[in-house]
Structure 1
Amino acid sequence: MSATNTADTSTGDKSRPAGRRAAADKVSKTPTEVLLHGRKSDTPLEIIRYTQEGFDLSDVREMLEISALYMASGLVERITGKSVRTVQRLTKETATVRLNQQQSTVAFQYAQTLEHAINVFGSQPLAEDWLKKPCKYLDGNIPLLLIDNALGYLVVEGYLTRIEHGVYQ
């Protein structure tokens, strides 16, 4: 590879099209960082306060765009409980659309689980692959389909923690 080609692939490259630079910048943020918009998240009480305020629909959509699996799975509809058409209409409104507390909590659960799975499996493709396949430990359930339920989320997170510590079936 020539020296000029090497320079073109560096992270500070300005020769890449703006869309590709933006996509690369988006990937560098974790799902919870995108969802929280840089706000502090040191304690669970802060997260509770943010979910009570409600996340912006645009932030939730941006968080979901980090993952090809999340986009293909129609999670924005699962999170909001609204049809595809209604969500499209809401995103076109000029006023900020905020999710309610329950919807915001579910959005955070998806962000947190994807981030945890990436940390456990070492890469996003491996994490997404695990999230979409039936899991023996979860009685054959697909982890992705359990996350929007509070108890399902706890079970999936608990299992990820067990995998992380090497204590799994």
Structure 2
Amino acid sequence: MSEAKQADKPAVKSTAKTGAGTRVTDIARKPTEVLLHGRKGDERLLIIRYTQEGFYLSDVKDMLSTSALYMEHDLVQRITGRSVRTVQRLAKETKPIRLNQQQSTVAFQYAQTLEHATNVFGSQPLAEDWLKKPCKYLDGYVPLELIDNSLGFQVVEDYLTRIEHGVYQ
């Protein structure tokens, strides 16, 4: 893969235990790959099943960490519907915390939109820039603020598809 293509992919930190201790490695993965945690996810019915099971809070936080924009807007609060303090407390639990179906669906919508926008605009920084600005086609709404609503998500995805095909009046 070319260096330019690798630079466009978000870096995700992964830890691996070695005989000498723990080492951190950078692995470039897409937001949906981080969220799905290595499971196949290219078919809609599989995604439905995974969201019904619920994603782990730690995987959602890892997915959000692939984007500076997502981290700066504290989207884990929007996804979970809980305060920062409650999310911090849940993250400290010894037992892994699973999100419910609705929260998992919203998390997947954020991952999917970031990937789609990155593909359309050619780089993640350009995609993030588009996601945070009001859009005339979306009646002045900021795309990032629409994603957690299923209808808003569909409108944003439809518009990205229109841009992708050159029909973005």
- TM-score, normalised with respect to structure 1: 0.85
Deviation at 1:21, TM superposition (A): 5.8
**1:160 equivalenced with 2:160 (yes/no):** yes
- Cross-structure match for 1:7: none
Deviation at 1:20, TM superposition (A): 10
- Unaligned 5+ residue runs, structure 1? 1-17
- Cross-structure match for 1:47: 47
Structure number, greater radius of gyration: 1
Report the AA paired with residue 88 of structure 1: Q
**Could you say what secondary structure the match of 1:168 adopts?**
coil
Same amino acid, percent of matched pairs: 77
**1:69 equivalenced with 2:69 (yes/no):** yes
**Could you say what secondary structure the match of 1:47 adopts?**
helix
Q: Are residues 84 and 32 of structure 1, via their aligned partners in 2, closer, same or farther at CA, if it must alter by over 3 Å?
A: same
**Could you say what secondary structure the match of 2:167 adopts?**
coil
User: Could you tell me how far apart the structure 2 residues matched to 1:62 and 1:150 are?
Assistant: 22
- Cross-structure match for 2:137: 137
Which 4+ residue blocks in structure 1 deviate beyond 4 angstroms?
18-21
Report the AA paired with residue 78 of structure 1: R
Deviation at 1:147, TM superposition (A): 0.1
User: Could you tell me how far apart the structure 1 residues matched to 2:143 and 2:63 are?
Assistant: 18
Deviation at 1:121, TM superposition (A): 0.3
How many residues matched? 149
- TM-score, normalised with respect to structure 2: 0.85
Report the AA paired with residue 101 of structure 1: Q
